[in-house]
Copies of this chain bind each other. A is one copy, B any other.
Amino acid sequence: MKAPSANGAWASSKPPLLRFLDECHDKFATDEAGAVADYIPELSKANPAHFGISLATLDGHVYEVGDSKIPFTIQSMSKPFVFALALDTLGAARVESAIGVEPSGDPFNSIRLNSDNHPFNPMVNAGAIACSGLIHEAKGDDAFEHIREALGRFAGRTLGVDEAVYASESATGDRNRAIAYLLRTNAVLKDRVDSVLDVYFRQCAILVTARDIAVMAATLANRGLNPVTGQQVMTPYAISRTLSVMTSSGMYDYAGEWIYRVGIPAKSGVGGGILAALPARLGLGSYSPRLDSHGNSVRGIRVCEALSSHYDLHMLNRSDDARTSIIADYSIGQNPSRRSRRPHERDILATHHEQVRVIELVGTLSFSNVDYVSRQLASKPRPQFVIFDLHRVTSLTRAGARLVAEEFRELAAHNVTVIIAGVKRGSREWNIIREWTGSLKNVRDFYLLDTAIEWAEDQLVYRHGGSIDFHETTELSEQPLLAGLSKEELADLGEIGTIRYYKSGEKIIAAGSPATSIFFLRSGAVHVTLPDGVRLATLTAGMAFGEMALIEPMRSADVFADISASALEVSLENFERLRKQHPHASGRIMRNLAQLLADRLIVANNRIDVLTAH
């Protein structure tokens, strides 16, 4: 792959990570150290020049360089996936009682068992054969298909088998037969040795590409959720325990050195593949069949080392920041709902606005983030309502969900009402939150933050002796747009208008149509909505709408009746006549319009301040 031309305006830049992988490929391709595996004839047929690298990110992008689409056999890289499958198929208790998790300090094909006469761990051949045996116990003749399907889910496609390699390994696998019989004499294997080894040899002969390995590794790094297909392939428990044994035993007697120098859980196969999975970051797959004396791909090891050192990606060298998650924290005084309030409601809300606290969160709700939020809540007097806006929350860890639930319970115990905004009912996040908080009576949810704020405002008004009534008014003097007009001017205006009636849900104004009149609401309620669905305002009797007709030729928003409503409609034509008759009134109305717009600008600027505060 070459960089696109620098001249064309459309020529896009190349992501630096792709450029880095290109450079690794160019540099390490010249390294001809090591030799292709020859312990079985079929493996020795691999082309030693082949070299492919692929890196999959956890948002599902896959970088590929070189021979990333050449198939080769998975070999020992199958071990972690079959261990994870065994955990999920037979349960952790059964698997963990059969196979240990301590490093053995021995090479991969050691026949030594631990002091319980069980395999040391699932990464040595003895442990891997025991895993295949467990799957065979559970699935019988379907064991291999069960494994092949599971590995296919990790890769995101159906994987084939190299029959020649399978036949060759089966014909020459006496050391593995010795290990299997030793396991059977110690009751670790319960089924026939031949049947179990048939599964094991077939699983080692599954065909993958560097790209497949990258996606499979990324699925390990992503808690079992394949980032390309979006499928949850295994439980997070099985995945984290698999990464644990890869970390402590994946590189056999080189494990301590590997953690120390590279710090990325990894597994290699004698077919020439190396898989590396950095949790919450990336999956790497490489293919180059020349192996070093430990049986690891020479170029693959160099790619892992370069990636770790160039980007300082050691798994124990991570940084985060708890404060990332709160993007805004305010009382509703700083960001009221878009509902126009009558004077007595405004008074109550002005006095008690500190009783509704809004916390807007962003990103991942993790242990650290939620703990930080809970301390922010504990640091100020407790309000009666807390609204958590989760619109921009992209995921929720189990630790985060647990702390959220515990925080809600804490607030419930103090009679604080919790309102969740921004979570769609039935979504994954909603289900998790409901799973943890289902029995709590103090939790409400609204999808729109504005609706949540409006609901909390209504509750505040009720609690402090107010009422939310849809009163009627025929008094034009109550209209802020007409403030300061004389009785005569108001009377003349009343005469040139027409009273209209609307049913609940009826569209009164359509965005994009000519703006030819102004409406003064007399009863009911309407809402003003942008064509993209964003609600700008809710209005009740005594308020005007369509007033921008005074300065704009076209309607920019839709207006719908919320409930049955009535309004006085004054056409611009008639308004023009009034203007000539009462020039002072006309100037006054324009002044009032400017005042309304100035008030809205203050609200908008407050909102910007809230959103851009550090």
Closest to A100 in B: B256
Q: Is A564 an interface residue (CB 8 A)?
A: no
How many copies of this protein are present in the complex? 2
Partner of A410, one of B19, B314, B614: B19
- Enumerate chain B residues within 8 angstroms of A243, measured Cβ to Cβ: 316-317
- Enumerate chain B residues within 8 angstroms of A574, measured Cβ to Cβ: none
Q: Is A210 an interface residue (CB 8 A)?
A: no
Q: Is A69 an interface residue (CB 8 A)?
A: no
- Enumerate chain B residues within 8 angstroms of A368, measured Cβ to Cβ: 57-59, 280-282
A551 touches B595 (CB 8 A): yes
* Cα(A236)–Cα(B317), bound, Å: 7
Query: What distance in Å separates the Cβ of A402 from its nearest Cβ neighbour in chain B?
Result: 6
B611 touches A103 (CB 8 A): no
- Enumerate chain B residues within 8 angstroms of A597, measured Cβ to Cβ: 594, 597-598, 601
Closest to A397 in B: B319
* Cα(A141)–Cα(B102), bound, Å: 41
A245 touches B256 (CB 8 A): yes
- Enumerate chain B residues within 8 angstroms of A327, measured Cβ to Cβ: 327, 362, 392
Most central of A17, A61, A323, A614 by chain B CB within 10 Å: A17
A98-133 near B? 1/0 per residue, CB < 8 Å? 001111010000000000000001000000000000
A566-589 near B? 1/0 per residue, CB < 8 Å? 000000000000010001101100
- Enumerate chain B residues within 8 angstroms of A399, measured Cβ to Cβ: 311-313
B256 touches A319 (CB 8 A): no
14 contacts between A and B (CB under 8 A): A11-B382, A17-B371, A100-B256, A102-B256, A103-B103, A280-B320, A282-B367, A311-B403, A312-B402, A319-B364, A324-B324, A362-B362, A392-B612, A586-B587
Q: Is A394 an interface residue (CB 8 A)?
A: yes
Q: Is A607 an interface residue (CB 8 A)?
A: yes
Closest to A60 in B: B322
Query: What distance in Å separates the Cβ of A404 from its nearest Cβ neighbour in chain B?
Result: 9
Within 8 A of B (CB), among A586-604: 586-587, 590-591, 593-595, 597-598, 600-601, 604
Q: Is A279 an interface residue (CB 8 A)?
A: yes
Q: Is A318 an interface residue (CB 8 A)?
A: yes
A401-419 near B? 1/0 per residue, CB < 8 Å? 0110011011101111000
B16 touches A406 (CB 8 A): yes
Query: What distance in Å separates the Cβ of A201 from its nearest Cβ neighbour in chain B?
Result: 27
- Enumerate chain B residues within 8 angstroms of A319, measured Cβ to Cβ: 222-223, 280, 364, 366, 395, 397
* Cα(A604)–Cα(B603), bound, Å: 10
B552 touches A381 (CB 8 A): no
Query: What distance in Å separates the Cβ of A220 from its nearest Cβ neighbour in chain B?
Result: 9
